[in-house]
Amino acid sequence: MKVHNYSAGPCILPNEVFQQASKAVLEYENTGLSILEMSHRSKEMVAMADNAVALVKEVLGVPEGYSVLFLQGGASMQFYMSALNFLSSNGKAGYIDTGVWSSKAIIEAKRLGDIEVLASSKDKNYNYIPKGYNVPAGLDFLHYTTNNTIYGTEFFHTPKTDAVLIADMSSDIFSRPINVADYGLIYAGAQKNLGPAGVTLVIVKDELLGKSGRDIPSMLDYSVHVKGESMFNTPPVYSIYVSMLTLEWLKKNGGIPWMDNLNQQKADLLYSEIDRNTKFLGTAEKEDRSRMNVTFVLQDDSKSDVFSKMLADANISGLKGHRSVGGFRASMYNALPLESVQVLVDVMKEFERTNG
C-alpha cells in the first residue's frame, strides 16, 4: 500500500535510502557486523562520517574556513549552544520572532545576556514574515528561523546585517540554494530533509569560534567538536549514515538545483488548488508561503471529519495541522514525490465536487 506521507517530522525519506539503510542494519559492507554495533572509530565508520561531511560541503557549496559537524540534542540544543558560543559576556544579540521555534530560541538566549527581539509576527499568529525592521549596529549576532513549520511561512530573503548571521534551517535546508558565506552559523535538525531524528547538522565559520570570553562546557563548545571531528563523544552513527545516503540520493538526482525546481512544482500545484477551491483557505500571507509546510483550513470546519475520511481512504497520512493552529498542514519535504501532491489535490477537488 502506497502511503502519501505528509508528516511534519520525523518525515518522509527516499525509498532507496530505506532500502540501503535496512541492509546496513543486518551487515555493513561485508564486515560481518551490523552498523549498529560497529565502533564509531573503526576505519569504516570514520570513512562514512568523512564522506557525509564532504557531501554536505559539495551539495551546499560550503566555502573554505567552515567546519561541518554532526551533533546531538536537536535544534533545541542549538538554541542555547549558539548563543553560548557567539554572545559575549557584555554583548547583545538580535532575534526575529516568527513562530514557536524562534520563540524558544529567544527564551534560551535570554538566559545568557541582552537579547532584543527586532521584529515579530506574533500579532497575526505568525502568519507572515516581518519586513522593514531596523537592525541596530553593535550586535554580536542576528538569529532567525528560515522556515516556520507550524505556521507555514518561510524567509525568501536573507536579513541584512553587519553582525554575524545565525540561522536555524531545520526544515528547509537542502531544499533551495543558499549562500553559506553569508552566515557565521547554520544549524538544522536532520529529521526534515536530511535523515532520521537523532543528529543535528552544524556549519560554523571557524574564525568566529573562541571569542565569546565565556567558560563553555566541553559538550557545548563548537571548538571542541571541531577539534574532535564530531567524535568528542560517541556520535549517532546510524543517523549520520542515513543522512549520508540521503545526500548521495540528492547529489545523484541533480543536487540543489533539481530539488529547488521540484519543490517549486509541488508548492505551485498545491497552493494553486487551495486558491482555486471554494472549500479551502490558506492561512499564511501569500508572499511568505512556505514551500515546505503548506497550512490551510476548511471554509466549513463542520466538514472536517468528512475530509479526513477522504484523506484516509486515499492513503494520505500526517496532514493534521499543529495543535496550536488547527486545520491542515501538508509538509512537502524533499523526498515527497510530486505524485503524492497530485493525489492530495485530486482529493480536494473531489471534496469540493461532493460537498456542495
Confidence band (pLDDT; 50, 70, 90) for 4? very high
**Predicted pLDDT of residue 1:** 65
The average confidence (pLDDT) of the chain is 97
Number of CB atoms found within 10 A of residue 282's CB: 18
pLDDT digits (tens, 9 = 90+) for 215-239: 999 999 999 999 999 999 999 999 9
Note the pTM of the prediction, 2 decimals.
0.97
CATH class in words for 15-253: alpha beta
Max Cα-Cα span within the chain: 65
* Fold (topology level) of 255-354: Aspartate Aminotransferase, domain 1 (3.90.1150)
CA atoms within 13 A on the CB side of 336: 33
Which residue, chain included where needed, has cell 545516503?
245
Between CA 89 and CA 113 the distance in angstroms is 7
Angle at 257 between CA 3 and CA 270, to 5 degrees: 40
Q: Which of 5, 308, 60 is nearest to 183 (CA)?
A: 60
Domain boundaries, the chain: 15-253, 255-354
Confidence band (pLDDT; 50, 70, 90) for 325? confident
Report how far apart, in Å, the C-alpha atoms of 27 and of each of 35, 41, 248, 270, 302 are: 7, 17, 20, 41, 51
**Which positions are annotated as active-site residues?**
101, 168, 192
Cβ atoms of 294 and 270 within 8 Å: the answer is: yes
pLDDT digits (tens, 9 = 90+) for 105-132: 999 999 999 999 999 999 999 999 999 9
Q: Quick one: which H or E segment has residue 125? A: none
